[in-house]
Amino acid sequence: MKLNIALLAGDGIGPEVIDQAVKVSDAVAAKFGHEITWAPALTGAAAIDAVGEPYPDETHDVCVAADAVLFGAIGHPRFDNDPSAKVRPEQGLLKMRQKLGLFANVRPTFTFPSLIEKSPLKKERIEGTDLVFLRELTGGIYFGKRGREDNDNTAYDTCTYTRAEVERLARKGFEMAQQRSKKLCCVDKANVLETSRLWRETVQKLEKEYPDVEVSYEFVDAVAMRLVQWPNSYDVLITENLFGDILTDEASVISGSMGLMPSASLGEKTSLFEPIHGSYPQAAGKDIANPLATVLSAAMMFETAFGLQDEADAIRTVVNKSLAEGVVTEDLAEGGKAYKTSEVGDWLAKNI
Amino acid sequence: MKLNIALLAGDGIGPEVIDQAVKVSDAVAAKFGHEITWAPALTGAAAIDAVGEPYPDETHDVCVAADAVLFGAIGHPRFDNDPSAKVRPEQGLLKMRQKLGLFANVRPTFTFPSLIEKSPLKKERIEGTDLVFLRELTGGIYFGKRGREDNDNTAYDTCTYTRAEVERLARKGFEMAQQRSKKLCCVDKANVLETSRLWRETVQKLEKEYPDVEVSYEFVDAVAMRLVQWPNSYDVLITENLFGDILTDEASVISGSMGLMPSASLGEKTSLFEPIHGSYPQAAGKDIANPLATVLSAAMMFETAFGLQDEADAIRTVVNKSLAEGVVTEDLAEGGKAYKTSEVGDWLAKNI
Ligand SMILES: CC(C)[C@H](C(=O)O)[C@@H](O)C(=O)O
Ligand SMILES: CC(C)[C@H](C(=O)O)[C@@H](O)C(=O)O
């Protein structure tokens, strides 16, 4: 297969971890007889510096032309203490999601037996956790009308959802549940919000098209609790944009393997794959960041964007091997040898 | 002092746990020479059954006339699987908050050394946690305009805040921080929401009036993570209604002492005190529910509504004693003797 992949390294540790994912992807491609063309493009603070825009039109064109997008991380401390800055890296993220139509953010949380001790939760609570959130990513209060009134003394934001938006996301959830444990949880606040009632209504209507999937409906506050108490009681969860923002981040820390968690943002045409960790500026340029989340995001890309399951499995197998053999960066070294970011990447590529 | 307290027992275990708080309050009043008049009134499913309304006008009048409101719990499973039911117990809750102007929900999360093993978190993560959330309770997306458009195919909810609403809540937060560790965290989503930017702006302006308080600003998704990772790094947190709904529930389960957590909802005139646990219908009528959260809510009432610190301390002391001596309900019995709800209440009243 010929694979044309847009490569958005972004800020902070983005470029370093992306480099390793490129090495590993190239190794997989060589092994299975594919040919990858990488199309690098600017995003985030790097793009603001170069062209004054966090998601420039040229970058968008590169993404649209590609078969998939591999993304590092964006964000720079220079913008952090200045919420009123005119141009901010995050705006690039939101613009990218909207322009590429990345409507479904797929965020798995699973455990690695060798890392379970790193979880803030007790072992018996976290063991066996393997859940996945589908967060709606291009609607809701993120993209509704907002502004000020009454002489700047009143502010408002509007959360809006259409039935079609909910249905599109929900169908992905049902399909994913069918491929997993056939359990789907719809997370909303239907006891208060009209948009949540639309969500619930729409999902309820879809139930009969997926009779093999068992659907439950839970309020967002209850889920925020149960994620800490019994995370392994969940399988697939679907939810709207803002609830998803909060809950996926909460879920990401319970496993103790946050530095290893990949994600996908699915669009109708193009999809994007990225580690869930941020740009981690303190570590930038030091060749110490853990590249595994980005490498595992590449695995999701092979599987989801290209339908290449064996290639994805080959990546996951070599990642597990690196963990088992202790070829890991300092965050996982536990007193053993700490490998450099680039050394881990080289080792993975060689052992694929 | 003459104390006139509205007594809203509500549904499920509400009446049972309220009974114990009444016994303990009466014992404290007798000891310190106060005279309590209890004014019972209907709320929740109980009120729907009696008069077709979850927060009847007569109940409101009783609350307005009282010096404070002591509240049990509302909610009944009969309404749970029917989100479209015309009248629901939760509506009573929202109406009560709005009509009584209960603008600040105070939700502490702290640990009891003897219960720390019950936390889903590892001991070293949860030890020493003592934080308090101030959740705005009468504004935001809970009370904004909502509806359907486009032939019922689009739903919307509006989140609105005025500077005055934010300031009122924030001042309570600053004052509370001054009485504690002088650390205040403002939780928002200012990188996306206009209402959050108003929050941040308003809090920033107040900073100079409280120079002894160290203020930090964190995004709601980051707080959802850090609450699980390092809960003891927080002191006072202020936030808007919906974020508060999610985060206070998340915070409530980390300590392992959810059944013991009290709360207050402060108004300009009247304030309300209630356990954070729900109506727990499975246990209703069995005399097995843990009354300590309600008893500790009564302690908050003496302290906050009446300024009676010694009385509050007396209640907290006797609660600690009951825990130390194992005079506890089955949820805390750990293989030891399980006392009945009413027995715990009797013991507390006698030992005050
Ligand atoms: C940076 C921010 C706008 C973004 C979001 O809220 O979606 C981030 O938190 C995320 O989850 O990707
Ligand atoms: C029952 C519901 C409307 C309510 C809320 O969302 O405020 C509850 O979750 C709470 O936190 O008291």
SS3 state of residue B289: coil
> Any catalytic annotation for residue B245?
yes
pLDDT, average across residues B107-123:
93
Whether B22 and B127 map to the same domain: the answer is: no
Distance of CA A90 to the CA centre of its chain: 15
Percent of chain B topping pLDDT 90: 91
Structural tokens at position A236: 């697939």
Same domain, A172 and A303: no
Domain boundary among A204, A231, A259: A259
Q: Does residue A86 carry a pLDDT above 90?
A: no
Domain that holds residue B78: 1-101+268-352
The answer for residues whose C-beta is within 8 angstroms of residue A180's C-beta and 6 or more apart is A132, A235, A236
Identify which of B154, B197, B246 has the shortest CB distance to residue A83. Answer: B197
Confidence band of A301 (pLDDT split at 50, 70, 90): very high
Average pLDDT score over chain A: 95
Same domain, B212 and B292: no
pLDDT of residue A81: 61
Question: For A93-141, what is the HEC assignment?
Answer: HHHHHHHHCEEEEEEEEECCHHHHHHCCECHHHHCCCEEEEEEECCCHH
- Same domain, residue pair A173 and A242: yes
What is the pLDDT averaged over residues A254-263? 90
- Confidence (pLDDT) at B81: 62
Q: Is A90 in the pocket of ligand 1 (CB under 6 A)?
A: yes
Asked if B228 is an interface residue toward chain A (Cβ–Cβ < 8 A), one would say yes
Pocket test for ligand 1, best of A90, A249, A272, A274 (most atoms within 8 A of CB): A90
Given a cut of 60, is residue B83 above it in pLDDT? no
- Whether ligand 2 lies within 6 angstroms of the CB of B127 is answered as no
pLDDT of A234 > 90? The answer is yes
Does residue B263 belong to any structural domain of this protein? no
Query: Is the pLDDT confidence value at A84 over 70?
Result: no
- Percent of chain A's residues with pLDDT above 70: 99
Q: Rounded to whole angstroms, how far apart are CA atoms A99 and A268? A: 11
- How does pLDDT run across B160-169, given as a tens digit for each residue? 999 999 999 9
CB count, 10 Å around CB of B104?
A: 25
Would you say residue B5 lies in a domain?
A: yes
Could B195 and A249 be called an inter-chain contact, meaning their C-beta atoms sit closer than 8 Å?
no
pLDDT at B84: 63
For residues B50-69, give the mean pLDDT: 97
- Host H or E run for residue B173: helix B163-179
Same domain, A144 and A248: yes
pLDDT of residue B87: 85
Q: Does residue A285 share a domain with residue A218?
A: no
* Cα angle B335, B338, B344; round to 5: 145
Q: Minimal CA–CA distance to B87: which of B118, B113, B51?
A: B51
Does the pLDDT of residue B103 top 90, yes or no? yes
- B240: three-class secondary structure by DSSP: coil
Span A72-77, average pLDDT? 90
Ligand nearest to the Cα of B225, by number: 1
- Domain end call among B231, B256, B281: B256
Please tell me whether residues B290 and B179 are part of one structural domain. no
Pairwise CB contact (< 8 Å): B161 & A144: no
* Cβ-proximal residues to B325 (8 Å cutoff; 6+ apart), any chain: none
- Of ligand 2's listed atoms, the one at least distance from the Cα of B75 is 1
Check pLDDT > 60 for residue B90.
Answer: yes
Q: What is the mean pLDDT of chain B?
A: 95
Contacts of A247 (CB under 8 A, 6+ apart): A133, A135, A187, A220, A223, A224, A227, A237, A239, B224
CA distance B98 to B145: 15
pLDDT, residue B335, reads 87
Average pLDDT over residues B101-119: 94
Indicate the top mutation candidate among B80, B93, B243 to test ligand 2's pocket, ranked by most ligand atoms within 8 A of CB: B93
Structural contact between residues A195 and A160, judged by C-beta atoms closer than 8 angstroms: yes
* Same domain membership, residue A286 and residue A171: no
Give the pLDDT mean for A89-114. 94
Please tell me the distance from the alpha carbon of residue B71 to that of residue B79, in angstroms, as a whole number.
20
Residues A235 and A297 in one domain: no
Atom of ligand 2 nearest to the CA of B242: 6
Region A248-258 average pLDDT = 91
**Domain finish residue from A259, A289, A308:** A259
Helix axes A220-229 and A241-254, enclosed angle (nearest 10): 10
Does residue B208 share a domain with residue B279?
no
- pLDDT at B68 (0 to 100): 98
CA distance A260 to A277: 8
Place of tokens 């694979």: A3
CATH number at residue A307: 3.40.718.10
Domains: count for chain A: 2
The answer to whether A15 touches A23, Cβ cutoff 8 Å, is no
The answer to whether A44 and A14 are in contact (CB under 8 A) is yes
Residue A231 has pLDDT above 90, yes or no: yes
B130-136 vs A214-219, strand pairing mode = unpaired
Q: Is B7 helix (H, G, I), strand (E, B) or coil?
A: strand
Handedness of CA A255, A258, A261, A264 (dihedral sign): positive
Task: Give the B window 79-108 contacts with A, CB below 8 Å.
Answer: 83-84, 88, 90, 94
Question: Does one domain contain both B149 and B216?
Answer: yes
Does one domain contain both A127 and A96?
no
B225 lines ligand 1 (CB under 6 A): no
Put simply, whether B156 touches A (Cβ < 8 Å) is yes
Residue B292 has pLDDT above 90, yes or no: yes
Average confidence (pLDDT) over B333-350? 96
pLDDT at B233: 95
Closest CA to B99 of B71, B142, B144, B60: B60
Determine the distance separating the centroid of ligand 1 and the alpha carbon of A96, expressed in angstroms.
12
Binning pLDDT at 50, 70 and 90, where does residue B272 land? very high
